[in-house]
């Protein structure tokens, strides 16, 4: 530590007026004990213990620092405590949500037939029996899974070509023209469209063009595309921008036409980033509830035709099972199904997020950048 | 264009160029058309709600009387969400950019991004099934001890399904947005400014106060505005958590409603004029969020040149 070879550690003038290194640990220990004591007086619970101890820790450390180190250092300690506290506060809901979904969702997910059956013919009678313990919880999410996958797939099929071509226009052809700047601006604006407004737009569009009350999976896919296109444009644009210009110039120098340069040189170089951006965009829209709610209606049976008839999806399934349980007098089987579906949905989204990271890492160009 | 033997190629090549650039241009224009279409079709479908006799609109007093309580409700929920999310997000962003150990920082950033990955309906379900029952005793305490404030006027909701709970759930959904934007901006603070402050003997907090925060202020404002846009338009957290009702000042009673939740709850069963009314409500929401987002983008672009924060 110190350069002086003396075995006796004397506090030098430089480190005078500082808290010893072990100070936070001492304060933490005292705060935990005091917090437990206080909580024991008013009824113990882990959450309250954490909160009280954290407040005691911050107060103790700042107070000690103010006494020894002066007000400037004390303010610094206070800011550090607040910032770390903010981070811990932000973690609480994440842990709580994941824990709640796991605890409530696993029984539903492990229920036999949950992934393989639909809600067709499942009425309140079955749920009442299940709640009384005289029958199993029947019904599952097969129809919703089919709906979610089809709607999301169709939305991807619409969004990726439009989004990618727009990004190509902005990067390769735009040259900062007024049109390119307008597109960039409105893509930013589109990012902020509330999801329910996107749903209303798709509904209003199909009501006006096809006929009032048109609700199919395809309408939902259009609504999701409105949400997905700006995400695809932004991420692809970023990726195309970082393709080195030398690659393009080398291709032009060999006499390759611009469109072949883009298709054979630029896009293959950026493909890992584009693919991971698209995957993240899918992860974003697969959990959207509101646009599907107003465009695809609710279905309890399997509908394999995305262009006709109402269609279920995982998010709307969760929503309806919670808000309108199949058996209003016994909502427990419905909420078990809803949490099971929520767990499946979270797993899907997490897999997509993980997939995006893997794609970005595995298919990244070996050299360049 | 002189065609010599060197530059001439098969027609396919040149046609390919035309087709490809045309397709790219068309895709770009399609986006403009879609945004224009959003506004156009919403207006077309909403017109009956504006022109219908006042008695036919839900509530019987015309569209304006129908829309203004839920506009206020939307604003209340968004303000609660921002009041909670802004300080927490700035704290988290500072933690990741300036306090956490270097090696951990990106991993912690990813953890916060996970918050954004969880679907909104799951947050809604969590808010209704877990948070509301847990938090209702606190509402009882607030009503008993701070009931003299109009916003905490009792009797508190026994289920906890109030606008305050909805606002808390909204804040959780807004935190990752404000955090990731602020973090980017904090990281762009010129290193020399920070080092100069430290060299003059500033503590870490004084360095942040003197060099990071002034630099990042416009960025933080626009991040908060973008978070506001999200909070205004979020549907599920409110639709599942709030037991809605008439506009009330008290945050801990059931009551109030937001535009997005009103649409989600009523649209699936609506028909005729009710559809138009709800689409008109959506149009109002669209205009509000559009204005908020454009102001945010404008603030960003105004400071882009000299701050690099975008």
Task: Kindly indicate whether the ipTM for this predicted assembly is greater than 0.90, answering yes or no.
Answer: no
Asked if residues A207 and A295 have their Cβ atoms less than 8 Å apart, the reply is no
Residue B308: pLDDT over 60: no
- Give the residue ranges of DSSP H helices in A43-70: 46-69
Residue A299 in tokens: 């279905």
Q: What pLDDT score was predicted for residue A10?
A: 60
Residue B10: pLDDT over 70: no
Q: What pLDDT score was predicted for residue B102?
A: 81
The mean pLDDT value of chain A amounts to: 85
Q: Which helix (H) or strand (E) holds B19?
A: helix B11-51
Q: DSSP class of residue B267?
A: G
- Among B44, B115, B293, the residue with its CB nearest the CB of A192 is B293
Q: What is the pLDDT of residues B147-196, one digit of tens each?
A: 788 778 777 777 888 889 999 999 999 998 899 889 888 988 888 989 99
- Rg of chain B's alpha carbons, rounded to an integer? 25
Q: What is the pLDDT of residues A113-145, one digit of tens each?
A: 788 777 777 777 777 777 777 777 777 888 888
Distance from CA of A63 to the nearest CA of B (A): 17
Q: What is the mean pLDDT of residues B26-52?
A: 86
Confidence grade of residue B309 (pLDDT, cut at 50, 70, 90):
very low
Q: What is the mean pLDDT of residues A56-77?
A: 87
- Give the residue ranges of DSSP H helices in A192-300: 195-209, 217-241, 245-253, 258-261, 267-286, 290-295
Q: What is the mean pLDDT of residues A294-304?
A: 81
- Among A72, A84, A183, the residue with its CB nearest the CB of B32 is A183
Smallest CA-to-CA distance from A283 within A138, A148, A81 is with A148
pTM for the model stands at 0.86
* Interface residue of A51, A87, A92, A160 to substitute, partner B, most B CBs within 10 Å: A87
Distance from CA of A357 to the nearest CA of B (A): 11
Provide the chain B residues 16-75 that lie in CB contact (below 8 A) with chain A: 16-17, 19-21, 23-32, 34-35, 37-38, 41-42, 44-45
Residue B131: pLDDT over 80: yes
Residue B256: pLDDT over 60: yes
Q: What is the pLDDT of residues A180-214, one digit of tens each?
A: 888 888 888 888 888 899 898 888 888 888 877 77
B117/A349 Cβ within 8 A: yes
Asked if residues A122 and A139 have their Cβ atoms less than 8 Å apart, the reply is yes
CA-nearest residue to A263 within chain B is: B20
DSSP A301-366: S----TTSS----HHHHHHHHHHS-SSTT--HHHHHHHHHHHHHHHHHHHHHHHHHHHHHHHSS-S
**Taking chain A, what is the end-to-end CA distance rounded to the nearest angstrom?**
42
Distance from CA of A7 to the nearest CA of B (A): 30
Smallest CA-to-CA distance from B38 within A360, A251, A142, A199 is with A199
Q: Which residue shows structure tokens 């956490």?
A: B100
Q: What is the pLDDT of residues B196-244, one digit of tens each?
A: 999 998 999 999 998 999 888 888 888 898 889 889 888 888 888 888 7
- Among B37, B115, B205, the residue with its CB nearest the CB of A205 is B37
Distance from CA of B277 to the nearest CA of A (A): 12
B260/A194 Cβ within 8 A: yes
SS3 of B122-169: the string is HHHHHHHHHHHHHHHHHHHHHHHHHCCCHHHCCCCCCCCCCHHHHHHH
């Amino acid at each position: 530590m110190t350069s002086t070879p003396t075995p006796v550690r004397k506090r030098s003038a430089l480190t005078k007026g500082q808290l010893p290194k072990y100070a936070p640990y001492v304060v933490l220990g005292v705060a935990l004990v005091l917090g437990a004591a206080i909580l024991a007086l008013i009824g113990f619970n882990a959450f309250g213990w954490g909160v009280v101890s954290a407040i005691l820790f911050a107060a103790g450390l700042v107070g000690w620092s103010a006494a020894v180190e002066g007000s400037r250092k004390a303010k610094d300690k206070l800011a550090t405590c607040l910032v770390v506290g903010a981070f811990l506060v932000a973690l609480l809901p994440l842990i709580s949500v994941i824990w709640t979904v796991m605890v409530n969702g696993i029984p539903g997910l492990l229920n036999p037939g949950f992934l393989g059956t639909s809600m067709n013919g499942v009425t309140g009678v079955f749920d009442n029996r299940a709640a009384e313990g005289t029958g199993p919880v029947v019904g599952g999410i097969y129809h919703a899974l089919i709906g979610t996958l089809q709607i999301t797939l169709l939305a991807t099929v619409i969004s990726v070509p439009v989004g990618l071509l727009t990004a190509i226009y902005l990067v390769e052809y735009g040259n900062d023209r007024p049109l390119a700047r307008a597109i960039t601006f409105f893509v930013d604006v589109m990012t902020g469209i509330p999801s329910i407004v996107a749903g209303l737009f798709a509904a209003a569009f199909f009501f006006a063009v096809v006929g009032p009350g048109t609700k199919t999976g395809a309408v939902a896919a259009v609504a999701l595309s409105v949400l997905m296109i700006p995400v695809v444009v932004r991420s692809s644009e970023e990726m195309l921008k970082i393709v080195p210009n030398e690659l393009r110039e080398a291709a032009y120098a060999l006499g390759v036409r611009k469109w072949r340069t883009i298709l054979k040189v630029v896009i293959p170089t950026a493909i890992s980033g584009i693919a991971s951006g698209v995957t993240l965009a899918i992860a974003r829209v697969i959990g959207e509830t509101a646009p599907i709610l107003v465009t695809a209606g609710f279905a309890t049976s399997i509908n394999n035709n995305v262009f006709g008839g109402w269609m279920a999806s995982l998010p709307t399934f969760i929503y309806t099972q919670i808000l309108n349980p199949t058996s209003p007098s016994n909502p427990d089987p419905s909420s078990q199904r809803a949490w099971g579906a929520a767990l499946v949905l979270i797993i899907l989204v997490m897999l997509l997020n993980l997939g995006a990271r893997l794609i970005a890492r595995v298919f990244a160009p070996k050299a360049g950048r | 264009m002189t065609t010599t033997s060197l530059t001439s190629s098969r027609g396919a090549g040149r046609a390919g160029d035309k087709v490809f650039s045309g397709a790219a241009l068309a895709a770009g224009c399609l986006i403009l058309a879609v945004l224009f279409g959003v506004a156009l079709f919403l207006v077309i479908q909403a017109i009956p709600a504006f022109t219908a006799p006042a008695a036919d609109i839900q509530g019987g007093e015309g569209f304006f009387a129908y829309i203004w309580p839920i506009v206020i409700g939307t604003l209340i929920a968004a303000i609660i969400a921002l009041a909670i999310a802004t300080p927490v997000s700035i704290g988290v962003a500072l933690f990741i950019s300036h306090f956490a150990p270097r090696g951990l920082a990106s991993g912690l950033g990813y953890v916060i991004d996970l918050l954004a990955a969880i679907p909104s309906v799951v947050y809604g379900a969590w808010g209704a099934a877990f948070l509301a029952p847990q938090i209702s005793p606190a509402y009882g305490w607030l009503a008993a001890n701070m009931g003299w404030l109009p916003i905490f006027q009792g009797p508190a909701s026994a289920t906890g399904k109030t606008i305050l709970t909805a606002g808390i759930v909204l804040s959780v959904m807004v935190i990752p947005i404000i955090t990731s934007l602020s973090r980017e901006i904090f990281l762009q603070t010129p290193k020399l400014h920070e080092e100069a402050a430290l060299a003059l003997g500033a503590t870490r907090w004084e360095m942040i106060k003197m060099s990071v925060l002034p630099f990042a202020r416009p960025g933080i404002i626009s991040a908060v505005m973008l978070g506001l846009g999200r909070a205004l338009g979020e549907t599920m957290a409110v639709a599942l958590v709030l037991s809605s009702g008439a506009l009330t000042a008290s945050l801990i009673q059931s009551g109030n409603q937001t535009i997005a939740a009103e649409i989600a709850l009523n649209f699936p069963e609506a028909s005729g004029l009710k559809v138009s009314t709800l689409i008109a409500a959506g149009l109002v929401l669209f205009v509000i969020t559009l204005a908020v987002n454009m102001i945010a983008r404008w603030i960003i672009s105004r400071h882009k040149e000299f701050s690099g924060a975008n």
